[in-house]
Structures are given as C-alpha cells and as structure tokens.
Amino acid sequence: MTEHTLTVAGVAVDTRHWIGGERVASTETFTDVSPIDGSVLGEISRGTATEAAAAVAAAKAAFPAWAATPRAERARILHAVADGVEKRLEELAIVETTDNGALLRSHRRGVMPRVAHNFRFFADWLLKLEHEDFETRGHTNHVSWDPAGPSVLITPWNAPLMLATWKVAPALAAGNTVILKPAEWTPLTASLLADIAAESGLPAGVLNVVQGYGSEIGDALTSHPDVRRISFTGSVPTARRIAASAAANLTPLSLELGGKSPLLVFADADLDLAVDLAVEQYDNAGQVCLAATRFLVEESVAEEFTRRFVKKAGQLTQGDPRDEATDIGPNIHPRQLEKIDGFVQRALAAGACAVIGGHRKDAQYYAPTLLTDVAQDSEIVQEEVFGPVLTLQSFTDEDEAVRLANDTRFGLAATLATGDPERAERVTARLVAGTVWTNCFFVRDLQAPFGGSRHSGVGREGGTWSFDFYCDVKNTVTAPTGWRNHG
C-alpha cells in the first residue's frame, strides 16, 4: 500500500481525486469505514472549493471536443467502458460490498452487470435518438439534442456505482462532461470507475471524480456558474440546499429524492405473492428509496397476511454480506443505525407494536422490523426511515386504500397486489407515484421514465427523458427553397 492507495480484498484503490486525467491529492482526508465490521478501510482525499473549481475547469476545457465527437465514437467509448466494467466485475463487486455492506451475491449477479448495461444502453440509445421532422405551413421543423455542458452528478451510498453510472452514462452519451461526487460513506468504486474510463479511452477531463463532504465540496460544485446541469439522488433536505445553491445561475436540476411508498394488498390478491413482495422490501437492509415500507392490507385478510409475513420474514438470514447464505446485511453507518432506532423507539413509545424486530442486533445490524398499531399522521408512517423497518395498516375499501396510500408528502413509487385487472386499472390511475408496480416489484427498464412526484423529486430520467435533461433540446425551422416571409 502506497501513501495514496488502499487495498480492499486484494484490490488496489487510489484514494485521490481524478481531475483532468490526473490523480490529485488534497491536504486533508476523511476516513472510510466498512459497515460490515466497522473496520477502517483508509483515508480518502477530502476535497474543498479548490478541487471543485479545478474539476469544473477541467470539464469546461474538455467539453468542446467531447461535444463535437461524433455520436458513433462516443458510443464506442461507452461500450469500451462497459467492457472494462465486465472485466473487473469481481473486483468492483467485492470493493462495493466492503464499502457499503450490500450483498456480494447481488453485486456479482445483478448490480455490477447493470453498471455495464447502463453504459451499453445509453450508448445504443444515443445512436437511435431522433424525432421525426414535421412541417408547419411548408416549413420543416427539425429537433436536435445539443450537449449542454459540464454536469455535476451527486450520488448516494445505497447503490453507489449503479446509481452513479445511471447518471454518468447518459450525461457522457449526450456529449456533456462530468464531475462526479460520490457519497463520502462510499467513495471507492467511483475511483475505480475513473481508472476504467481512462483505460477505455475516455479523453482527459471528460469524467472527473471528486470526493468529500457536501458542505465543503458539494456547495462549491452546485453553485459554480460554469456548471450547466446538476443531477442529485438523496434526501429532501439536501435537495433543498442544492436547489437554493443552483438558483443563482438558473442551473437545471434533476432530483430523485426519498420515498414512503405503499404496498396495497387487496383481499382478492394471491397472498403468497403479496407476502413475497412484502418480504422483498427488506432488500439491502431496507436502504432502497423505492421500497414499499407501508403495508396497506384489506381488513379481511390482514391477520392472515401478517401471519404469513412473519413466517416468511423469519426465514431470512442476517449477517456478513460476503456470505452467500446472507439475505440482509448491515446498515451503512452507526449514524444511520442511530437514526433508524430513533424512529422505531419513538413509534413504540407512541403505542406502536413490534410484531417482529424493533431493536438493534449489534453495532452494525438492525433487526428486520414490522410495526402495527400506527396512526396515519405518525412520524413512522409519514417520514422515510431508510432501514429495515416496515409498518402495517388495514383498510376496508378502495377509496380508503387510495387515500392512505397518497396521504404522505412523497410520491416515488407504489406497489399493488390484486387479482382483479379492473381494480388494478382503477387504483393505479389514482395513485400519486412516479412508478407503480402491479403484482410485481422492482422491474426496471432503462427506457422507462424514472423519478418522483411531490417531495420525491423533480424531473424524469431514463431513455429519451435522460437526453432531454442532459441536452439543450433545439428546434430548427427551415423555409422551403425560394420562400420569403413578408410578415
């Protein structure tokens, strides 16, 4: 291990920023800790306004050439990055698991392949991106997507590389240059991505990676006048701060924020399927923004649903995420564990009943929890916990189910279990959510729009929606030959 390199499960990771095609160290560092056992992984360069300015300058300098690069060449390079991800898939998986505590088996089989797919999908979508020309009084309208400029992408810790590349890939495909700021709790795979991108032929300055705290480097990035796009995934309070920071420059924002999504289970549902969907909400130790954390179950089947859920949840194995047999790993950080437990203990003090869980297991792990006897206006029902904590309420008819489902300030997703297709159509039409799943969960396609309603976000990304955000969409109107406009 050198001064600026740490080793994670045999994988060397550079702890410095990546700016303008070079590694850049900061005078100060912050400590990266594994959530698996609390062990110190290493000291990471801690960026400030100085590194932010350097990264934006590098992105600005690289932008004209990258924006002018033909679509086919940009796509070729993005496919090369995907190739690099696939070649280092095992390394990326073990580093990510060590850094954020999610299941190694999931990283190997699903998450890291999805990282490569993010690059391939947007590379291919770029090549078919078009809008059919149309006429207005004989004039031809032609729609084009012009690269917008340097883009700041601020990403969360719950799925670090997958969610980073969900932003990086379309931004690069669009012809923008990028400054990526990963979450300070999970910076390592972003550093590896910088290496892979450079090895794949991405020109210097097109992708820059800077590490540090939001209050120190994040504010400097989001307020910079040369930044033309900001995409953020994270909490509502941080989004407000970013929006205020960007306002002075009218920098366009895409915000994917928190959720308090419902799972509606009707009496005509396949209860075994509904229970499977419900138990799936403990995925990633409950640290999933889309998770349906509020179970709304029709009164006539609530008792049976609860019995089956308790039995199924009891079969889950919680432990070391590197073990193939583990179903639930640790929570990300002691601070997050304190937050989760605070929600639960306040709910219990207010009269909630813990059907299962309701307590920490140790310093890294929180017991999977289901709370009943909760009021609709209570904190535990209204606020995002971001841990393995679920609530259950009952309803008597469709109207009450929809009212309860929509009665929060969020609107990211909703899941519905019913055996009646007509009911499914009626209910989904009334739900306030960016994504609704019927008799399934977490089926995602990159060509679909993704984002939230209300306090769950601003804007949509995915497919053409991503290019609409990362580009300046332009309409060019051309008069027919020999035509003169006399007013």
Residues forming the active site? 256
Nearest of 319, 311, 11, 347 to residue 191 by alpha carbon: 11
Can you tell me the distance from the alpha carbon of 405 to that of 262, in angstroms, rounded to the nearest whole number?
A: 6
Read off φ and ψ for residue 262, nearest 5 degrees: -95, 150
288 Cβ contact partners less than 8 Å away, ≥ 6 residues apart? 158, 281
Reduce the DSSP state of residue 134 to 3 states and report it: strand
Q: What angle do CA 445, 446, 451 make, to 5 degrees?
A: 95
Can you tell me the distance from the alpha carbon of 206 to that of 177, in angstroms, rounded to the nearest whole number?
A: 5
Can you tell me the distance from the alpha carbon of 430 to that of 436, in angstroms, rounded to the nearest whole number?
A: 11
How does 55-86 read in b/e, with b if 16+ C-beta sit within 10 Å? bbbbbbebbeebbebebeebbebbbbbbbbbb
- Residue found under tokens 């020309």: 133
Instruction: Give the C-alpha distances (Å, rounded to integers) separating 372 from 316, 356, 381, 385, 408.
Output: 20, 10, 10, 15, 18
Reduce the DSSP state of residue 254 to 3 states and report it: strand
Element holding 48 (H helix, E strand): none
247 Cβ contact partners less than 8 Å away, ≥ 6 residues apart? none
Number of Cβ atoms within 10 Å of the Cβ of 480: 10
Tokens representing residue 295 in the block: 């179970």
Reduce the DSSP state of residue 38 to 3 states and report it: coil
Instruction: Give the C-alpha distances (Å, rounded to integers) separating 303 from 348, 356, 369, 392.
Output: 20, 14, 17, 11
Can you tell me the distance from the alpha carbon of 371 to that of 130, in angstroms, rounded to the nearest whole number?
A: 49
Instruction: Give the C-alpha distances (Å, rounded to integers) separating 181 from 153, 178, 236, 342, 393.
Output: 6, 10, 18, 29, 39
Can you tell me the distance from the alpha carbon of 229 to that of 226, in angstroms, rounded to the nearest whole number?
A: 9
Pairing label, strands 134-136, 17-19? unpaired
